Amino acid sequence: MGKFYPVGIQNFESLRRDGYFYVDKTAKIFELARTGRYYFLSRPRRFGKSLLVSTLEAYFSGKKELFEGLAMQELEKEWKCYPILHLDLNTRKYDSPESLYGILDEHLKMWEALYGRNEAEKGLERRFAGAIRRAHEKTGERAVILIDEYDKPMLQAIGNDSLQTEYRNTLKAFYGALKSEDGHIKFALLTGVTKFGKVSVFSDLNNLEDLSRNPGYTDICGISEEELLRDFSDDIQELAAANGQTFGQACAQLKEDYDGYHFCPDTPGMYNPFSILNTFKSRRYGSYWFETGTPTYLVELLKKSDYDLEEMSHVETDADVLDSIFTDDNPIPVIYQSGYLTIKGYDKRFGIYTLGFPNREVEEGFMNFLLPFYSAVSKTRSPFEIKRFVTDVESGDIDGFMERLQAFLADCPYELAKDIELHYQNVLFIVFRLAGLYTKVEYRTSRGRIDLVLQTDSYVYVMEFKLDGSAEQALQQIEEKQYALPFAKDSRKVYTIGVNFSSETRNIDKWIVK
């Protein structure tokens, strides 16, 4: 009988009792519990953070039977039971200060029912400190604090500064109890998607050890290539058979689609566990991670900051930006921390990181998601329009794909296009990045123009785009700069296309083909 895949199951106890497959992370968890006390971990959503928290909860509850056959069984000799205060902020919609107060109050009442309450303690933070203290006093063991998705309220309040400030102040005071009650705490882990607020929410918690970019813990969540081949080779074989592939081809496609998350430089890439398990369960490749949550707040940030999307494909930045809270003028920290970009390279000498899309699933999902926000294409039509565009490109129908390009650029809302040139570059970037998943695209921009090489099996298109110039000038530039020269001996048919974009009509007004 095959494996039961724990798709969406985030509770370690139910996963183990019901016989679901578990990639054994318990040796790392044992090391974590033994070598430190206060930890913080940021990882993209659906990366196994909640399961990690739940595994720690089972371990600190002394539930030895759940760890049978896992590394922990050999490592742990004592199996003590500690009082656990587990706060999960993932489950609520935070749209008012009352919603955050409500969930914190609910957890506090639960802990107070277990460990007692002192009526003199007023305010969430004092009640939390009291709960930690009494948990220790009542059980004789220090408390274990597990906080899952600490940043959910603030992520939901992006774009609403006053609500965000309110959430931040509430949580800063609340989490402050971790420092004031240090003597009563055995272990604490906070997880989240972003580090935003590592500065402000945790500014008093200078004792938090950040595991997010610690090379020793890159594989604490997610699936490494070693784990994939060790635990899932039968599954890869079945996936390959179902898709008419060899074992090697299936491995290559899994890598291209779902691998490539690097949380620190020079470490093996991690596969997204949610996508991998879904792929094995359904035996088909799909955009699983993307379908479970749409990054609307990221689009708001990109639009608000007038971000040049082309920069996103090769961002250069430093550690301060990767670890920083988001700002309106730089959406990169939150885009990186949310998992839409990852570390692709690192220059030790200058301390500069290069970021890019982790894999095909993320790039294709993100670009398809962005397109309707930047162009007239509706959300449901985006993949179809790209398919038609690529089909026209592959069949050599230049007028067809140029008209489709006009359709992508049409009806651009005025407020969106404050900088018409940037807007037009952004739309072209999204379209050609998507087309580039099926054909070969080299896309370069400089102030005032874009040149582009689009290659298929039968055709090569060398294109030059001008803004408020003329299509003739664009074509002339291709000849003067000899952009088509690399393809002179090519057996494929080579077209040069000059295109002019008019800021008055806000669209392509003419193209010439040679």
Does the domain spanning 376-513 belong to CATH 3.40.1350? yes
Name all contacts of 349-355 with Cβ < 8 Å and 24+ positions apart.
Answer: 351/318, 351/319, 352/316, 352/317, 352/318, 353/265, 353/316, 353/317, 353/318, 353/319, 353/322, 354/314, 354/315, 354/316, 355/314, 355/315, 355/316, 355/317
- DSSP result, 177-228: HHHHTGGGEEEEEEEES--TTTTTTSTT-TT-EE-TT-GGGTTSSSEEHHHH
CA 7 to CA 278: how far, in whole Å? 7
Evaluate whether 51 touches 90 at the Cβ level (below 8 Å).
no
Evaluate whether 61 touches 120 at the Cβ level (below 8 Å).
no
The residue among 504, 513, 233 whose CA lies nearest residue 396 is 513
Evaluate whether 249 touches 237 at the Cβ level (below 8 Å).
no
Residue 126 burial (CB < 10 Å; 0-12/13-18/19+)? middle
CA 75 to CA 500: how far, in whole Å? 68
The pLDDT score that the predictor gives to residue 196 is 54
The pLDDT score that the predictor gives to residue 417 is 52
Radius of gyration of the chain (CA): 26
484 three-class SS: coil
Are 12-217 and 376-513 in the same CATH fold? no
pTM listed for this prediction = 0.89
Residue 314 DSSP label:
G
Residue 494 DSSP label:
E
Domain ranges of the chain: 12-217, 223-287, 296-360, 376-513
Furthest C-alpha separation in the chain = 86
Residue 326 DSSP label:
P
The pLDDT score that the predictor gives to residue 242 is 97
The pLDDT score that the predictor gives to residue 201 is 66
The pLDDT score that the predictor gives to residue 474 is 92
| pLDDT tens-digit profile, the chain (514 residues) | 578 999 989 999 999 999 999 999 999 999 999 999 999 999 988 899 999 999 999 999 999 999 999 999 999 999 999 999 999 998 788 989 999 999 999 999 999 999 999 999 999 999 999 999 999 999 999 999 999 998 888 878 877 889 988 998 898 889 888 888 999 999 999 998 877 544 566 666 667 888 988 999 999 999 999 999 999 999 999 999 999 999 999 999 999 999 999 998 888 899 999 999 999 999 999 989 877 777 777 887 888 788 888 888 789 999 888 877 656 678 888 888 888 999 999 999 999 999 999 999 999 999 988 888 888 777 777 788 889 999 999 999 999 999 999 888 876 655 555 677 788 888 899 999 999 999 999 888 776 678 899 999 999 999 999 988 999 999 999 999 899 999 999 999 999 999 998 888 888 889 999 8
Residue 261 DSSP label:
B
The pairing of strands 270-271 and 223-224 is antiparallel
At residue 47, φ and ψ (nearest 5 deg) are -110, 5
The pLDDT score that the predictor gives to residue 58 is 98
The pLDDT score that the predictor gives to residue 82 is 98
CATH number for the 12-217 domain, one of 3.30.70, 3.30.450, 3.30.43, 3.40.50? 3.40.50
For CA atoms 23, 24, 26, 32, give the dihedral sign. negative
The residue among 95, 34, 88, 41 whose CA lies nearest residue 59 is 34
Q: Amino acid identity, residue 425?
A: Q
